[in-house]
Structure 1
Amino acid sequence: MLTLSLIGIGCGDPRQLTLAAIAAINDADLILIPRKGIAKSDLAELRRAICAQALSNDRTRIAEFDLPVRDAGVEDYRKGVDDWHDAIAAIWSQEITRHLGGEGRVALLIWGDPSLYDSSLRIAQRLDPRPSIEMIPGITSIQALCTAHALPLNEIGEPFLVTTGRRLREGGWPAGVDTIVVMLDGGAAFQALDPEGLKIWWGAYLGMPDQILMAGDLAETGPRIVAARQEARAQHGWIMDCYVLKRA
């Protein structure tokens, strides 16, 4: 029997690990760590640091692999993502077979929580034979952002919507809500909105030593965020950020 554990590890701060996550890390026979190229080597190093701190046995093996790059030039977005997930599943299968054969416990450390804007579960379901899958919840970037800003996410009795930068850019402000959370935004999609009456709470590298926070009226704060994103990306080679927008 092969078991695959998708372990939510929060946003990079080892103190965000739950006791359940630490137990699952120590139960694993193999931990797979993806490498995303030199520009994002920090992400692999953070996973290594979490393993070094959380592991209390010398039985668990750690194996690293190069993560395939999604072809952003594919016109059909969904097909491009499907092809990318197939390629990742093939590498997972290859590494699991190489190190474990057909049985044991393999774990992947997932940023935030594996249920929110993460495709690891979808990729795991493509493995053949399909392993038994367990998920360990983790602190999400949304929680880390609101905590860092001391911000209550929802207004009393009111809904909020979680969306992506691409959807916000293409569709504008979603109907029926006054609070939105925007994730996976590679291009500061809030610039496509009329800033009148909007406030933003933004954070990058949440939970990490290089955490950056900004908040205020979108008209004034938006340009400062754009400049900070450009500077941070130039410095680190990558950026992970998200933000909350509220309409008065």
Structure 2
Amino acid sequence: MKIVALIGIGMGNPKNITMEGMAYIKNAEIIIGNERLLKAFGEDFKSDVRVFELNKYREITCLIENEIIDVDANIAILIAGDTGYFSEAKKIIAVLNDNPEIEIKNIPGISSLSYFFSKLNMSYDNAFSVNLNGEEGKIVQYVAAHKHVFCLGGGEVEVLLGELIKARAINTLPESLRIFIGERLSYPDEKIIYSTLKDIHKHKDDIKSMSSLAVFLFENDEAIF
């Protein structure tokens, strides 16, 4: 039976991966992942490793089931963050679980949620979390309803915050809304911004340069939940 290890590697800094995850990477003959993750861990690969740069779960499962299923090799799939938190791992597992020739090893990692809250010295046990990819336009209703909302980015940071500013103008959101933004988490150039909705315009230069991979925490004391 072929073993396929799905490895949650955290935000991308090799220092944050678990020892178990790193052991699977170092022993793998075939490694699959996106460009950013492969680059981050390239120094830990075997010298004769076969590397496949793929992004979508359909590409990954097709490769395994149709091209390398008969290859005698340890396979590692690098997954950003944690394998159980808004992850492509869920879709990969759903497909590969039906293959009797494959045994899946699911190795969890540090999620952006747990990492970001640790940097803020906060607990996330009462946070409402959402992935805004494919959920554009819903941020205001989430933040208006919940006291603590953690969001994975969904598009340009400037556009997302613009929705909140418009909501403040019509009194849907309070100007006291607290906003925390994290970018390039775990990397040397990691950036974390804190502001209130009232003062967010003071950070416009930083916000303009932020990527869609930023994460957010919104705290609304006037929310019900």
TM-score tier, shorter chain, comes to 0.7 to 0.9
Query: Is the 8 Å Cα contact of residues 9 and 112 (structure 1) preserved in structure 2?
Result: yes
Match of 2:28 in 1: 28
Q: Deviations over 1:129-158 (max 9, x none)?
A: 363222111111122222333x3134xxx7
Task: Return the offset for 1:201.
Answer: 1.3
Alignment of 1:173 with 2:143, yes or no, is yes
Could you tell me which amino acid in structure 2 is paired with residue 134 of structure 1?
K
Alignment of 1:177-196 (within 5 A): 177-188=146-157, 189-190=160-161, 191-192=163-164, 193=167, 194-196=173-175
Alignment of 1:62 with 2:51, yes or no, is yes
Could you tell me which amino acid in structure 2 is paired with residue 110 of structure 1?
I
Partner of 1:152, secondary structure, is coil
CA distance in 1, matches of 2:60, 2:9: 22
**Which is helix-richer, 1 or 2?**
1
Task: Return the offset for 1:213.
Answer: 1.2
CA distance in 2, matches of 1:2, 1:97: 13
TM-score by length of 1: 0.70
Partner of 2:77, secondary structure, is strand
Q: RMSD between aligned alpha carbons?
A: 2.8
Alignment of 1:147 with 2:106, yes or no, is no
Note closer, same or farther for the CA distance 1:104–1:214 as it changes in structure 2 (3 Å cut). same
CA distance in 1, matches of 2:109, 2:3: 19
Unaligned 5+ runs, structure 2:
168-172
Query: Is the 8 Å Cα contact of residues 7 and 79 (structure 2) preserved in structure 1?
Result: yes
Note closer, same or farther for the CA distance 1:94–1:180 as it changes in structure 2 (3 Å cut). same
Q: From 187, 209, 228, give the equivalent of 2:188.
A: 209
Unaligned 5+ runs, structure 1:
35-43, 69-87, 234-238
Alignment of 1:245 with 2:224, yes or no, is no
Alignment of 1:113-132 (within 5 A): 113-127=82-96, 129=99, 131-132=102-103
Task: Return the offset for 1:220.
Answer: 0.8
Alignment of 1:79-94 (within 5 A): 88-94=57-63
Q: What percentage of aligned pairs have identical amino acids?
A: 21
Q: Deviations over 1:9-34 (max 9, x none)?
A: 11121111111111121232310133
CA distance in 1, matches of 2:87, 2:107: 13
Query: Is the 8 Å Cα contact of residues 13 and 207 (structure 1) preserved in structure 2?
Result: yes
CA distance in 2, matches of 1:224, 1:103: 57
Query: Is the 8 Å Cα contact of residues 32 and 60 (structure 2) preserved in structure 1?
Result: no
CA distance in 2, matches of 1:46, 1:91: 15
